[in-house]
Amino acid sequence: MSESRKVRVAILYGGRSAEHEVSVVSARSVMAAIDRSKYDVVPIAITKAGRWTLPEKTPDELEAPKGSLPGTGEDGTGVALMREPTGAELKPLAGGAAMGAVDVVFPVLHGPYGEDGTVQGMLELADVAYVGAGVLASALGMDKEMQKQLFRSRGLPVVPYVHVHAEDWQRGAESVMELAADEIGLPCFTKPARLGSSIGVSRCTTPDELRAGVELALQHDSKVLVEKAIAGRELECAVLGNDEPEASIVRNASTASRRISSVTLSGRGAGMRSSLPSSIYFASKS
């Protein structure tokens, strides 16, 4: 690669998960922030059906009715990322000229088939550099139950929980309800084990709400968690780097809407804002 050539970045967004629209919004932010003097950007929209396409509209141009977030739609020329002797190349599926090499892929995807190691595995096979966590870290980061087991094994405290598989619920919802009452109690939170952006999450204060919460979460995942409701602060910290990772400052994450009701949280990530928690800020200064 000559020194003057810009780095060619393929930005993947959309995708098959229930967080498709959240990803479109994240792609808008990434595409607005990326330094165009250094990077040549190729947007690739993954439709809800899972097709990789060269989009007709950029994420910014996509529109949505008021109160909802935009999706990619199913249109657009199909494209594939192929491993060629010279490196990874994008090729339109309809034939025609290859679009040239891709130096790095930036998966701006949320949820299953994006954040869970599956796309990362495909990119490993294509032998192309990509942004973000690798296969194992992505898979562990996506699965809240496996993540808790890992944290526990390293002596970190985790919020008490039980996990429920769809089969357990089908075979004996009543035994699951008893287990949850004994181990967790009320109020509690129910959530899909492998999703994000508060989709399918409920706060439950009665047995009926618990039942409805488990059923809602099971619509999104075959494994769900019933977690004790705690009063806590949600903190976020980014880590950048491989062999010598660097951590960012820690920030308070809070949803713009503080209303958490027994119905599904509708935050969908779009309302997240963060601020520096003063105790942590002062601790880092002293």
Task: State the residues that interact with ligand ATP by CB under 6 A.
Answer: 159, 189, 191, 195-198, 201, 227-230, 234, 260, 265
**Residue whose entry in the numeric block shows the structure tokens 């009452």:** 181
Residue 62, Cβ neighbours under 10 Å: how many?
Answer: 21
Q: Are 236 and 274 in contact (CB under 8 A)?
A: yes
Find the shortest distance in angstroms from Cβ 235 to ligand ATP. Answer: 11
CB closer to ligand ATP, 89 vs 143: 143
For residues 253 and 156, what is the distance between their CA atoms, to the nearest angstrom?
20
CB closer to ligand ATP, 63 vs 182: 182
Find the shortest distance in angstroms from Cβ 44 to ligand ATP. Answer: 23
Find the shortest distance in angstroms from Cβ 47 to ligand ATP. Answer: 22
Find the shortest distance in angstroms from Cβ 16 to ligand ATP. Answer: 17
CB closer to ligand ATP, 96 vs 232: 232
CB closer to ligand ATP, 112 vs 196: 196
CB closer to ligand ATP, 77 vs 264: 264
Q: Which residue has the CB atom at the shortest distance from ligand ATP?
A: 196
CB closer to ligand ATP, 230 vs 283: 230
Is the backbone peptide bond immediately before 187 cis, with ω within 30 degrees of 0?
A: yes
Tokens of 248: 């960012």
Closest CA to 214 of 149, 141, 253, 163: 163
Letter string b/e over residues 99-111, b meaning 16 or more CB atoms within 10 A of that residue's CB? eeebbbbbbbbbb
Which neighbouring-strand residues pair with 52?
A: 46
Roughly what angle, to the nearest 10 degrees, separates helices 144-153 and 135-142? Answer: 100
Find the shortest distance in angstroms from Cβ 285 to ligand ATP. Answer: 27
Q: Are 154 and 144 in contact (CB under 8 A)?
A: no
Find the shortest distance in angstroms from Cβ 176 to ligand ATP. Answer: 18
